[in-house]
Amino acid sequence: MREALRDAMAEEMRRDEAVFLMGEDIGVFQGAFKVTEGLLDEFGERRVRDTPISENTIVGTGVGAAMGGLRPVVELMTVNFSLLALDQIVNHAAAIPYMFNGETRVPLTIRMPGGGGHQLGPTHSHSFEALYQQVPGLLVACPSTPADGKALLKAAIRDDNPVIFIEHESLYGRRGEVPDDGDGELLRFGEAAVRREGGDVTIVGILKMAHVAEDAARALANEHGVEAEVIDPRTLRPLDLDTILDSVRKTNRAVIVEEGWPHGGVGANLATLITEQAFDYLDAPVQRVTGADVHMPYAKRLEQAAIPHEEHVVKAALAALEGSL
């Protein structure tokens, strides 16, 4: 995944002079997670800019540069630190195109890695997909595979809208086929991937939870004779709700898996949309599997207990199927 994201940026920078990178320790240090490794060497300090630790101003400078005709790619060291830049993200990047009535655009990509599982504790393990998907004007990408990561990042950089590009720290080392045909494999925002077909229950998972959902589907098939359909939305704004609804209309049951908090989460939102749009097709309440409603604890045992795992998803799917097996 790490290399796929780096290649996406490098290819877009080669293609378009207006694309440049800004962020804390992305140049000389090569990125806190080494995603920008080698880019300073290739593109130089003008286009790979190390910044001070000033999140709100880094994003704001990106907003202004985008309004001035550039295509900045801002790296915030982690999702957690994006809270320091919320004013520029929500009040400015997201609002400006609308509040200035389309007179200016903000083609800005803001990358931020997050998620738990590395014993980084309460301030370094957030999942804020739900927070950002709520803001009109933003696009939100949350890729789970290297191929999607590369294609979506390239699409994000070319998009004229501000994009929140959420990466999962646990997925950086993940391997996978990445098409090597340059512009051929540009993924459109708003197109979900059906990772596995099945007729019994729909499981929707994002980021690392897309993989947990797939693992759970395999366990359901092997151990319970249940065929789950697994959907990875890939982007939360725009949302490919139609693919999810089509699946639910077929399976009549849905489980949503995310790492973030349950109150007002991605799952809460999807459950509402499914209930509103496909209520008559549901044979059971929509099930949610989320991160625990606590701040991420440091102790490994507690941390793992706060993150959804395969068995939680299996349990939720079986609960949705209860009485019909």
Catalytic residue numbers?
55, 124
Kindly provide the b/e burial profile for residues 171-187, where b requires at least 16 CB atoms within 10 angstroms of the residue's own CB.
bbebeeebeeeeeeeeb
Q: Name all contacts of 274-283 with Cβ < 8 Å and 24+ positions apart.
A: 274/244, 274/245, 274/248, 277/241, 277/245, 278/245, 278/248, 278/249, 281/248, 281/249, 281/252, 282/248, 282/252, 282/253, 282/254, 283/252, 283/253, 283/324
- Single out the segment in contact with other proteins by CB under 8 A; choices: 166-174, 209-217, 277-285, 291-299: 277-285
- Single out the segment in contact with other proteins by CB under 8 A; choices: 120-128, 145-153, 154-162, 163-171: 154-162
Quick one: 84 or 221, whose CB is closer to other proteins? 84
Quick one: 104 or 119, whose CB is closer to other proteins? 104
Quick one: 20 or 172, whose CB is closer to other proteins? 20
Q: Which amino acid is residue 218, in one-letter code?
A: R
Using CB under 8 A, which of 68, 122, 179, 182 touches other proteins? 68
Q: How far apart are CA 322 and CA 325, in angstroms?
A: 6
Q: Smallest distance from the beta carbon of 228 to other proteins, in angstroms?
A: 23
Q: Which tokens hold the place of 112? A: 């931020």
Using CB under 8 A, which of 28, 101, 173, 177 touches other proteins? 101
Output DSSP code: residue 150.
Answer: H
- In 3D space, the residue among 129, 191, 183, 189 whose CA is nearest the CA of residue 160 turns out to be 189
Tell me: does residue 283 bind other proteins (CB under 8 A). Answer: no
Using CB under 8 A, which of 137, 143, 205, 260 touches other proteins? 137
Describe the crossing of helices 266-278 and 241-251 by its angle, rounded to 10 degrees: 60
Tell me: does residue 160 bind other proteins (CB under 8 A). Answer: yes
**CB 259 within 8 Å of CB 117:** no
Please name every residue paired with 50 in a beta bridge, in sequence order, or none if there are none: 23
Q: How would DSSP label each residue in 66-123?
A: HHTT-EEEEEPS-GGGGGGGHIIIIIIITTHHHHTTTSS----EEEEEE-S-SS--TT
What residues from 6 to 65 belong to the interface with other proteins (CB under 8 A)?
20, 46, 49, 51-52, 54, 56-65
Q: Smallest distance from the beta carbon of 19 to other proteins, in angstroms?
A: 11
Q: Smallest distance from the beta carbon of 296 to other proteins, in angstroms?
A: 26
Quick one: 245 or 292, whose CB is closer to other proteins? 245
Tell me: does residue 67 bind other proteins (CB under 8 A). Answer: yes
Strands of 109-114's sheet in order across: 48-50, 19-23, 71-75, 109-114, 163-168, 139-141, 235-237
Q: How many residues bind other proteins (CB under 8 A)?
A: 61
Q: Smallest distance from the beta carbon of 150 to other proteins, in angstroms?
A: 18
Quick one: 31 or 162, whose CB is closer to other proteins? 162
For tokens 């070319």, the residue is 158
CB within 8 Å of 31: residues ≥ 6 apart: 23, 25, 37, 75
Q: Which tokens hold the place of 245? A: 């609804």
Q: Smallest distance from the beta carbon of 95 to other proteins, in angstroms?
A: 9
What residues from 191 to 250 belong to the interface with other proteins (CB under 8 A)?
191-192, 235, 237-242
Q: Smallest distance from the beta carbon of 172 to other proteins, in angstroms?
A: 26
Q: Smallest distance from the beta carbon of 290 to other proteins, in angstroms?
A: 20
Quick one: 103 or 177, whose CB is closer to other proteins? 103
Q: Which residues of the chain form contacts with other proteins (CB under 8 A)?
A: 20, 46, 49, 51-52, 54, 56-70, 72, 87-88, 91-92, 96-105, 136-137, 139, 159-161, 188-192, 235, 237-242, 273, 276-281
